[in-house]
A and B are shown apart, each in its own frame.
Chain A
Amino acid sequence: MIDRRVWCAAWVLGPAAWAAEPVPAIVREVRRRLADEPVLRGAFEQRKTVKGFRNPIVSRGEFAVVRERGVLWRTQEPFASTLAVSRDRIVARQADGTVTRRLQAQEEPALRAVTQTLFALLSADLAGLAERFQIEGDMDAQGWRLLLTPRDPALARWLRRVELEGDRFLRSARLLEASEDATLIRLARHAAGPALSAAEEAQFD
């Protein structure tokens, strides 16, 4: 979840500096429409199309977005693994629970930009995203579409464009990377879920 390109962005990315700007009207509208649940659970399908790969890389699993805590991204197919993303930390685990990666923004402050962006994307935290992206969009009775372009050239070296679609919930996110890889994430079966179990909570540590 962090490679050299992301590192390169993180090296120069500071905390978002545009917080003072007013949030665009469309973002305020979408936020009003989005359900605000303390814990939101659902299922995802992620499809990465990569130049040089014959087949798209597809994975499926469940997610849980916990307000102010973080996002738990549990891949079940084809390989079980867990990714826990909070504002200042990313922890990746294998199926047996062993940690494969742990990135802490405390140790490397520049990583905070990466963890915050990933967290904001996966949890549809539009206020957080507005700090780093220029947001345009439109909406009708059925739903809304937002187009995000990075404000910071350093971030643009990693993400070229992000497209979000949804109604009461975020339904799909398309990430276009600078490397021309594209990732399409579809979310479904949204439900206000029970609070995190102790085992789930432990994934963040």
Chain B
Amino acid sequence: MTEPLVSAPKAAVQPLAAAWPWRAAALAWLAVVLVVAVHQVRFWTAGRLDTDVMALLPATEQDVALTRATEQLGQGLQRQIVVLLGAPDAADVRRAAAAWRAQLLSDKAPLGEVEEQGADGAQFVAFQRRWRDRLLTPVQRERLLHSPGAALTQSALAQLHQPGASAREWAGDPLGLGSEWLLARAGQSKARPRGDGLWVTGEGAEWQVLRYEIGGSAFSMSGDARYGPALEAAWQAARREVPELRMLAVGLPLHAEAAATRASWEINTIGWGSLGCVLLLAWLAFRSPWPMALVGASLVIGTAAGLSLTAAVFGQVHLLTLVFGASLVGVAEDYGIHYFAARQGRPEVPQKMLMRALLPGLALALSTSVLAYLALGLAPFPGLRQMAVFSAGGLAGAFLTAVCWFPLLDRRPPRASRFAAVIAGSLARWPRAAGHPGVWIIAGALALFTAAGLVQLRAGDDLRNWQSSPRPLVEAQMQVNRLLGMPSVAQFYLVQGASAQEVLEREEALKARLDPLVGPAGLQGYVAVSDWVPSLARQREDAALVARAEAQVVAGVNAALGEAIARPGPSVEPLTPQAWLADPVSRAAGRLWLGESEGRWSTLVLLQGLHGRELLPRLAETASQLPGVRWVDRSADVAVLLGRYRGAMTALLLAGHLAVFAALWWRFRSRAWRAWLPTAAASALTAGCLGWLGEPLQLANVLALLLLLGMGVDYGIFLVEHDGDGSAWLAVVLGAASTWLAFGLLAWSSTPVLHAFGLTLMIGIAAVWVLSPWLRPPPRVPP
């Protein structure tokens, strides 16, 4: 039996002296709880919840230009929803769009349609006309360089005589360069303004492109989606008008809304589910309302404290923090359960005496858990830091509630229950490794199973293991990208130089390497600033080339037709990036121009039709051979980063085991290994199981093993601290059962990273639960 309990009567003679500081602590904690309560009311009415899935990811160690590039590419996308309505007949689409708009207007959804402002055709023609001899496509440059003048003249004559071609236009552009260049530029986006908005043709249908900006937050506190249902209702209304209508809706707000709706459901399932389980277990074990109420109170206060602390530290709380935090319920109940289990076992000991006796074990358990959670925060992932602060704060809140309030509020010891007696009694019958004949066989079999699993374990740092969106949304996104011919924003080139001209020249060198890759098997094309504004050197060459060819062709045509047509004049001045940016046509590609920052000029070159991954190594290699050109593959960068932190966190996990073992040694000396080994063995076993299950080992699994270290060791501590005490065992069983349930529920999360957390802890906690009593100290010989 533990020492302090034996000395209880001695302490009971001076209860007044002991009561005063306790009461003060309870009142102080009450004050804190009131502050938290006020903060909670304000927090939930303000709704400062973050739903951006990418917020979970680290702010990568990017340089300034890359950060700006990423921001510029994402600009406006955060709040934008794009809808495509399509049917074979454009007139049908017009009718459907009218019904669609009417329904959306009558809906209360905060969606505002954005007026499309693409430059009109006349503006493009005016731009080309102004710099007509300085804008050539690669194909045109080849033709002018290599075709003899006579062939160019023949082609011009043939064209003049064909129907449909305006001779007047020919006189202004004898080589017919304009329309080809305009066609090439127009190919960069397939959407076209047709007087009544943007249209695109493809996949056997005419599509009207509608753009919306959202008014409010993508997440509503009730977890009800708003944009999705509004679009669905509008679609139903439009389909009553045109039954064969097709709709594609994409945009970050829809992804955020899907994630939020799902997360909200998961918070409710995991949070209320595990709270219900904990209370049910408490009822079964203690058969009294007080323990249930107090344990429930400690959980509610703990969760609220964690949330308030997170909001205070970070300013806002990520939705996935709440989902993860919901599993806290299964961990934070340990302190209260432990107290009541001890109270049930020793009803004669006064409450404060009992709590004082339990305090060292509870405090040690709290500190290992808090340390483990805070270790999560070492990785520079904003989402993880929030989860760490939330959990550490929540645990401390539950702990303080139990320690400060329970001894004062708990009036009557819980009744003995058959359920509690059976569990408490089961410890005596639980097999013990010490002295068991088959111990080495069992240990050997477990080691073999673990080793075989570990061999199969594969690392998987893909971004897709971290977050996921509903399949239909992802497919709609791909279809829209195809229809609109939108370039990829996940992979691109960043081109930098000491001057604007150097950047343009470097772009041209890059494009010369990319041209051979453009074709049916490779890229569909690329988009670059130098398509619109060639470097001055290139402009000089092209203007000279055009002047020579035009002189030949005009002379040839004049001779053949007996005319005296003059060659149209060359452009008056060179084209500069400033002139382009000032022209309305720059709206088509202006976002690729990053301008100057700290003496360096930067632009982006985007790729179109990059569907497979086979081309990526070649594209990356192309950049490595060119000065000032950088290949940026954001998903690969994130995967590398995740992999690096997986390595670092694995090292931290090993260091953590050493530190925990040292702490245990300080208190338990030669018995320390009994508290530590179950968790260490369970961690290895869990990793082995992941290997057998074919789950990729990723950062989330390693972080979950860190948590397992913090929580699993608690069970060992309780069992070693209160050696042979049936009530300590009862607390461990109840605690482990509810933790296991909470994380088991988390394993069903459809967010991959939370699933990985939950699965790892579900396996790990079950293993610790079984191993801890197996390795408990041998029974003492009665004196």
Query: Is the pair B200, A12 in contact by a Cβ cutoff of 8 Å?
Result: no
Please name all residues of chain B whose beta carbon is closer than 8 Å to the beta carbon of A10 when the two chains form the complex.
121
**Interchain nearest-CB distance for A91 vs B (Å):** 11
B64 within 8 Å of A (CB atoms)? no
Q: How far is it, in angstroms, between the C-alpha of A168 and the C-alpha of B387 when the chains are bound? A: 83
Q: How far is it, in angstroms, between the C-alpha of A83 and the C-alpha of B193 when the chains are bound? A: 29
* Interface residue ranges of B159-213 to A (CB < 8 Å): 159-173, 176, 178-179, 182-183, 186-187, 190, 192-195, 199-202, 206
Interface size class of A (residues with CB under 8 A): 35 or more
Query: Is the pair B192, A73 in contact by a Cβ cutoff of 8 Å?
Result: no
B122 within 8 Å of A (CB atoms)? yes
Query: Is the pair B565, A8 in contact by a Cβ cutoff of 8 Å?
Result: no
Please name all residues of chain A whose beta carbon is closer than 8 Å to the beta carbon of B201 when the two chains form the complex.
14-15, 109-110, 112
**Interchain nearest-CB distance for B1 vs A (Å):** 86
Query: Is the pair B159, A9 in contact by a Cβ cutoff of 8 Å?
Result: no
Report which of A3, A75, A100, A112 forms a contact with B170, defined as CB distance below 8 A.
A3
A116 within 8 Å of B (CB atoms)? no
Please name all residues of chain A whose beta carbon is closer than 8 Å to the beta carbon of B560 when the two chains form the complex.
78
| B165, B176, B565 — most chain A CB neighbours (10 Å) | B165
Report which of B124, B173, B561, B562 forms a contact with A3, defined as CB distance below 8 A.
B173
Query: Is the pair A100, B158 in contact by a Cβ cutoff of 8 Å?
Result: yes
Report which of B89, B121, B194, B565 forms a contact with A7, defined as CB distance below 8 A.
B121
| A7, A118, A153 — most chain B CB neighbours (10 Å) | A7
Report which of B157, B166, B187, B200 forms a contact with A79, defined as CB distance below 8 A.
B157
Report which of B167, B173, B195, B200 forms a contact with A53, defined as CB distance below 8 A.
B167
A67 within 8 Å of B (CB atoms)? no
B447 within 8 Å of A (CB atoms)? no
Q: How far is it, in angstroms, between the C-alpha of A19 and the C-alpha of B89 when the chains are bound? A: 9
Query: Is the pair B89, A185 in contact by a Cβ cutoff of 8 Å?
Result: no
Q: Which residue of B lies closest to A7 (CB)?
A: B179
- Classify the interface of chain A: helix, strand, loop or mixed: mixed
A196 within 8 Å of B (CB atoms)? no
Please name all residues of chain A whose beta carbon is closer than 8 Å to the beta carbon of B128 when the two chains form the complex.
4
Query: Is the pair A12, B193 in contact by a Cβ cutoff of 8 Å?
Result: yes
Please name all residues of chain B whose beta carbon is closer than 8 Å to the beta carbon of A171 when the two chains form the complex.
none
**Interchain nearest-CB distance for B567 vs A (Å):** 13
**Interchain nearest-CB distance for B365 vs A (Å):** 68
**Interchain nearest-CB distance for B489 vs A (Å):** 23
Q: Which residue of A lies closest to B128 (CB)?
A: A4
Query: Is the pair B186, A108 in contact by a Cβ cutoff of 8 Å?
Result: yes
Please name all residues of chain A whose beta carbon is closer than 8 Å to the beta carbon of B192 when the two chains form the complex.
11-12, 14, 109-110
Query: Is the pair A92, B162 in contact by a Cβ cutoff of 8 Å?
Result: yes
| B158, B159, B190, B200 — most chain A CB neighbours (10 Å) | B158
Q: Which residue of A lies closest to B92 (CB)?
A: A20
Q: How far is it, in angstroms, between the C-alpha of A107 and the C-alpha of B190 when the chains are bound? A: 9
A4-B125, A6-B164, A180-B168 known; A12 vs B157 contact (CB < 8 Å): no
Query: Is the pair B121, A11 in contact by a Cβ cutoff of 8 Å?
Result: yes
Query: Is the pair B158, A79 in contact by a Cβ cutoff of 8 Å?
Result: yes
- Classify the interface of chain B: helix, strand, loop or mixed: helix
Contact segment of A23-31, A44-52, A141-149: A44-52
Q: How far is it, in angstroms, between the C-alpha of A121 and the C-alpha of B744 when the chains are bound? A: 72
Query: Is the pair B168, A1 in contact by a Cβ cutoff of 8 Å?
Result: no
A100-B155, A108-B186 known; A48 vs B125 contact (CB < 8 Å): no
Interface size class of B (residues with CB under 8 A): 35 or more
Please name all residues of chain A whose beta carbon is closer than 8 Å to the beta carbon of B90 when the two chains form the complex.
14-15, 17
A5 within 8 Å of B (CB atoms)? yes
Please name all residues of chain B whose beta carbon is closer than 8 Å to the beta carbon of A86 when the two chains form the complex.
none
| A10, A12, A78 — most chain B CB neighbours (10 Å) | A12
Report which of B122, B166, B187 forms a contact with A108, defined as CB distance below 8 A.
B187
Q: How far is it, in angstroms, between the C-alpha of A83 and the C-alpha of B129 when the chains are bound? A: 27
A122 within 8 Å of B (CB atoms)? yes
B113 within 8 Å of A (CB atoms)? no
Query: Is the pair B163, A4 in contact by a Cβ cutoff of 8 Å?
Result: no
Query: Is the pair A118, B164 in contact by a Cβ cutoff of 8 Å?
Result: yes
Q: How far is it, in angstroms, between the C-alpha of A54 and the C-alpha of B565 when the chains are bound? A: 9
Query: Is the pair B195, A154 in contact by a Cβ cutoff of 8 Å?
Result: yes
Query: Is the pair B563, A8 in contact by a Cβ cutoff of 8 Å?
Result: no
Query: Is the pair B199, A54 in contact by a Cβ cutoff of 8 Å?
Result: no
Q: How far is it, in angstroms, between the C-alpha of A52 and the C-alpha of B173 when the chains are bound? A: 14
Q: How far is it, in angstroms, between the C-alpha of A73 and the C-alpha of B165 when the chains are bound? A: 14
Please name all residues of chain A whose beta carbon is closer than 8 Å to the beta carbon of B206 when the two chains form the complex.
14-15
Q: Which residue of B lies closest to A112 (CB)?
A: B201
Query: Is the pair A181, B166 in contact by a Cβ cutoff of 8 Å?
Result: yes
Please name all residues of chain A whose beta carbon is closer than 8 Å to the beta carbon of B179 when the two chains form the complex.
2-4, 6-7
Q: Which residue of B lies closest to A50 (CB)?
A: B167
Please name all residues of chain B whose beta carbon is closer than 8 Å to the beta carbon of A59 when the two chains form the complex.
161
Residues 140-168 of A, flagged 1 when their CB comes within 8 A of B and 0 if not, give 00000000000011100000000000000
Query: Is the pair A55, B158 in contact by a Cβ cutoff of 8 Å?
Result: no
Please name all residues of chain B whose beta carbon is closer than 8 Å to the beta carbon of A177 when the two chains form the complex.
166, 168
Query: Is the pair A94, B565 in contact by a Cβ cutoff of 8 Å?
Result: no
B2 within 8 Å of A (CB atoms)? no
Please name all residues of chain B whose beta carbon is closer than 8 Å to the beta carbon of A65 when the two chains form the complex.
none
Q: How far is it, in angstroms, between the C-alpha of A179 and the C-alpha of B171 when the chains are bound? A: 12
Q: How far is it, in angstroms, between the C-alpha of A5 and the C-alpha of B121 when the chains are bound? A: 9
Please name all residues of chain B whose beta carbon is closer than 8 Å to the beta carbon of A7 when the two chains form the complex.
121, 125, 178-179, 182-183, 186
Please name all residues of chain B whose beta carbon is closer than 8 Å to the beta carbon of A108 when the two chains form the complex.
183, 186-187
Query: Is the pair B187, A107 in contact by a Cβ cutoff of 8 Å?
Result: yes
B91 within 8 Å of A (CB atoms)? yes
Q: How far is it, in angstroms, between the C-alpha of A137 and the C-alpha of B235 when the chains are bound? A: 44
Q: How far is it, in angstroms, between the C-alpha of A92 and the C-alpha of B156 when the chains are bound? A: 12
A11-B120, A12-B120 known; A181 vs B161 contact (CB < 8 Å): no
Report which of A1, A11, A17, A54 forms a contact with B162, defined as CB distance below 8 A.
A1
B781 within 8 Å of A (CB atoms)? no
A135 within 8 Å of B (CB atoms)? no
Residues 72-111 of A, flagged 1 when their CB comes within 8 A of B and 0 if not, give 0101001101010000000010100000110100011110
Query: Is the pair B168, A50 in contact by a Cβ cutoff of 8 Å?
Result: yes
* Interface residue ranges of B78-118 to A (CB < 8 Å): 89-91, 94
Residues 109-140 of A, flagged 1 when their CB comes within 8 A of B and 0 if not, give 11010000010001000000000000000000
Binding site for A on B (CB under 8 A): 89-91, 94, 120-122, 124-125, 128-129, 154-155, 157-173, 176, 178-179, 182-183, 186-187, 190, 192-195, 199-202, 206, 560-565
**A54-B563, A122-B163, A177-B166 provided; 6 other pairs, C-beta below 8 A?**
A3-B178, A14-B192, A15-B90, A17-B90, A59-B161, A108-B187
Sampled A-B contacts (24; CB under 8 Å): A1-B162, A3-B165, A3-B166, A3-B169, A4-B128, A5-B166, A7-B179, A11-B192, A12-B120, A12-B192, A15-B90, A17-B90, A46-B163, A48-B167, A52-B171, A55-B562, A57-B160, A79-B158, A81-B158, A83-B162, A108-B183, A122-B163, A153-B195, A185-B163
Binding site for B on A (CB under 8 A): 1-15, 17, 19-20, 46, 48, 50-55, 57, 59, 73, 75, 78-79, 81, 83, 92, 94, 100-101, 103, 107-110, 112, 118, 122, 152-154, 177, 179-181, 183, 185
